[in-house]
Amino acid sequence: MIKILGLEYFKIRRKKIWTMIILFLVVEMLWAFMSISRSIAGNPDQAVWESVFFSISSMNGLFMPIISAIVVSRICDMEHKGATWKMLVATNVSRSHLYAAKYICANSLLLYGILAQGALMIVFGLIKDFPGALPIELLSRFIGGSLLTTLAVTALQQWISMAIKNQAFALCLGMLGGFIGMTAGLFPDAVRHIFIWSYYLDLSPVTYLYAEPSGSYMVQLVSPGIVVAALIMTILFYIAGSIHVTRQEI
């Protein structure tokens, strides 16, 4: 299994996956930081750590599904393009191990992205001189929530990317997820919780209370039910995808 995982990292060289992750993150972070800076300029009360956690969580709803779709698609597509499935299976590589290796590889890359977001958020807060100590707890919860949602999203993406050769389907799903993730806040809770992409906001450590004339940020306790739902979706998508792909004839 370790050998297969090592091979995945070897095989993604020259796939420019890092470049794409960095580009998307740069756009997202610049957009978020400019938005927060403008907001602070209009209302200095919003110069708090919570603002940056909420903004990045809500923007992750748009960006992370798309980044996840691209990363997973790049990792899976090389097997379709080179017709390498049959070569690997004929070399006695277990399909379930290969599926697991791709999943771990994709999520490890995305975890680096989430960690980079966390670091940039701290740097931004320090530059803006937000009051209070470094919000380690908020940061941990942000990383945990984003990672858990990403695990479920990539499980779904990998299922589609491996089962359907044409990666347009997987990328369209990523874009649809981004749209749902971005507009999740507009849906009623019952509807929103069906869609995994809305969990970036649901599992965020900070929420925003809308009130006239302006709202305020509030630290929220994440409901265990949401965490369990995300875990169940992750396991379901992963197992269903793995079984489906493993049983496909080559």
Partner 1 sequence: MSSSIIVQTHNLSKTYEAVNRVNRVNLHVQEGEIYGFLGPNGAGKTTTLKMLLGLIKPSEGTIHIFGESLSKHRPSILQRTGSLIESPSFYGHLTGLENMKVMQRLRNVPDRNVDEALRIVRLENQKNKKAEQYSLGMKQRLGIAMALLAFPKLLILDEPTNGLDPAGIGEIRELIKSLPARYGITILLSSHLLSEIEQIATSVGIISEGKLLFQGSMASLQHESRTSILLKTGDNVRAEKILLARAYSPARMGSRLKFANIADTEVAEMNRLLVEHNVPVTRIEEQKKSLEDIFLELTGKERSL
Residues that bind partner 1 (CB under 8 A): 3, 6-7, 10-11, 13-15, 78, 81-93, 249-250
**Structural contact between residues 33 and 79, judged by C-beta atoms closer than 8 angstroms:** no
Measured from the CB atom, the residue of 89 and 236 that comes closer to partner 1 is 89
Question: Residue 6 Cβ, how far from partner 1 at the closest point, in Å?
Answer: 7
Q: Name the nearest CA neighbour of 199 among 136, 152, 162, 249.
A: 152
Measured from the CB atom, the residue of 6 and 215 that comes closer to partner 1 is 6
Question: Residue 67 Cβ, how far from partner 1 at the closest point, in Å?
Answer: 20
Measured from the CB atom, the residue of 95 and 128 that comes closer to partner 1 is 95
Q: How many CB atoms lie within 10 A of CB 54?
A: 24
Q: Cα–Cα distance between 36 and 32 in angstroms, integer?
A: 6
**Structural contact between residues 64 and 181, judged by C-beta atoms closer than 8 angstroms:** yes
Measured from the CB atom, the residue of 43 and 166 that comes closer to partner 1 is 166
Question: Residue 112 Cβ, how far from partner 1 at the closest point, in Å?
Answer: 21
SS3 state of residue 206: strand
Question: Residue 146 Cβ, how far from partner 1 at the closest point, in Å?
Answer: 29
Measured from the CB atom, the residue of 4 and 196 that comes closer to partner 1 is 4
- Region of 121 (left: φ > 0; alpha: ψ -120 to 50; beta: rest) is alpha
**Structural contact between residues 56 and 121, judged by C-beta atoms closer than 8 angstroms:** yes
Question: Residue 94 Cβ, how far from partner 1 at the closest point, in Å?
Answer: 9
Alpha helices in 82-135, H assignment, sequence order: 85-90, 95-127
**Structural contact between residues 204 and 136, judged by C-beta atoms closer than 8 angstroms:** no
Measured from the CB atom, the residue of 104 and 115 that comes closer to partner 1 is 104
Say which amino acid occupies 85: W
Question: Residue 83 Cβ, how far from partner 1 at the closest point, in Å?
Answer: 5
